[in-house]
Amino acid sequence: MGIEGSLNLVEVEQFHKDKTRLEELKIRTKNCCCRYCGGKLSLRRILYGPANSGRVEIFCDDCNRIEYGVNQEIYEIAKYYVDEFEFNHYPDNDDSAKTYQMNVAKICDIISWGCKNLDILEYDGFKVPINISNTIMGEEVVLYKADLEAEVEITDMDEDAIFGRQTGGKLCL
């Protein structure tokens, strides 16, 4: 008997919900990059409680924070937009690398929102074929050719390790 046999109905439902969520997170980890720095994402299990159970979240390894991520194509377009039109949503901030990243993340959110509402983007990627002009992508940019079959490793981390840190993801939207 598997783990499901020892659970009640509510627990079984939660088990499947968690499993689906984990699959979604794995797909995003492969398909997406950080909205702030464009860096690679990874999965970490944040451990808490006596049973050492934990919730799995996507992290940006470079920013070291929880990050839902964005499709890499959208990140490249957003970066181009911020550079080309000198977009600045945070004029009161100093002109730092951090402000630049926040602006790119903001445009990522806007483009993602638009694409989702046009019903061409889902959590696991675009629903239609897309094509980005070379002007925007630049010739040196190589999109991830992720092996979608490969297993995504989950690293354990202590809850205290992220306590007090500023988290990204939905809180920044």
Q: Please report how close the Cβ of residue 39 comes to Zn ion at its closest, in angstroms.
A: 4
List contacts with Zn ion (CB under 5 A). Answer: 34, 36-37, 39, 60, 62-63
Residue 46 CB, nearest approach to Zn ion (Å): 17
CB of 1 to Zn ion, least distance (A): 42
**For residue 147, what are its two tokens?**
């092996």
User: Residues near 107 by Cβ (< 8 Å), separated by ≥ 6?
Assistant: 77, 78, 81, 82, 87
Q: For residues 25 and 34, which CB has a smaller minimum distance to Zn ion in the complex?
A: 34
Kindly tell me which of 56 and 58 has the beta carbon lying closer to Zn ion.
Answer: 58
Closer Cβ to Zn ion, 26 or 65, answer by number = 65
Closest Cα to residue 71, out of 112, 120, 132?
Answer: 112
Q: Can you give the three-state secondary structure of the chain, one letter per residue?
A: CCHHHHCCHHHHHHHHHHHHHHHHHHHHHHHEECCCCCCEEEEEEEEECCCCEEEEEEEECCCCEECCCEEHHHHHHHHHHHHHHCCCCCCCCCCCHHHHHHHHHHHHHHHHHHHHHCCCEECCEECCCCCCCHHHHCCCCCCCCCCCCCCCCEEEEEHHHHCCCCCCHHHHC
In the complex with Zn ion, the residue whose CB is nearer, 32 or 37, is 37
- Name which of 53 and 93 has its Cβ closer to Zn ion: 93
Min CB(77)–Zn ion separation in Å: 17
